[in-house]
Structure 1
Amino acid sequence: MVRRVREVMTELPLGVGPGTAVQQVATVMRDENIGAVLVLEGGRLRGLVTDRDLTVRILADGGDVTGRTVGEACSGDLVAVAPDDDVDRAVHLMRSKELRRLPVVDDGRPVGIVALSDLVVERDPDSVLEDVGAATPDP
């Protein structure tokens, strides 16, 4: 039986505007134990910002992060899937584009996000990634 993305995605992921301060987003990521936030303009997906984006595109520059926004840090070249796409399509896109997360978009509006760990657990329910994903980060 073909599984659909909607069956493995996280529904209603956190979304922020492109002018949101990176420090605010990093705090939310820490507090909510998430690694990615959608960047939205007018309810439409503009980008995706990950914890790695914040590190590589903002913190690695050094200096004060005051005034830096997620619009500066987000990945703008987006690849997305639809909720009714089969899981194999998501796997193929993640492999071919070397992605860890894919926004799920329905009629131009974000409805979810699917992470590499979601797909691994889908394919191997006994995967160690299920435990790692559920772990609380160190203080």
Structure 2
Amino acid sequence: MPTTRELGIGFVPYSPLGRGFLTGAVKPAAEYEEGDMRRTDPRWQPGNFEKNLDAVRKLGELAEQKGIMVSQLALAWLLAQGDEIVPIPGTRHIERLEENTAAADVSLSADDLERIRQILPDGAFGARYAGGMVPEWV
């Protein structure tokens, strides 16, 4: 991120709603169809899955206090990271598009941002990708 900022390059976070984790549409790895990457994603595996569910529950408490959805909280958090951050969540439903767009109007205080940091100090529990799927940058 420091290099993109230095060069004035925008950044589009991939899967800003955590492949469904932050939308409430989540289930354990084994319940997804064969071929769905969440079956092998470390964040869906036993141990990490439960920790991530608990974190989303805590984020839900904060979102509820603010009168918004967890997905809106997540998108507002991304937007609060800098003007060069442009999350583009995917959706198939106009209602979700409207919810996602409304996240741009959510204001997060320094206390809100700190609470989110306390809930997920290192981001999600588990690696972003299973071994062998991580690109090697040269």
- State the TM-score, normalized to the length of structure 2: 0.28
Structure number having the greater helix percentage: 2
Name which structure has the greater RCO, CA cutoff 8 Å, separation 6+. Answer: 2
Structure number having the greater strand percentage: 1
- State the TM-score, normalized to the length of structure 1: 0.28
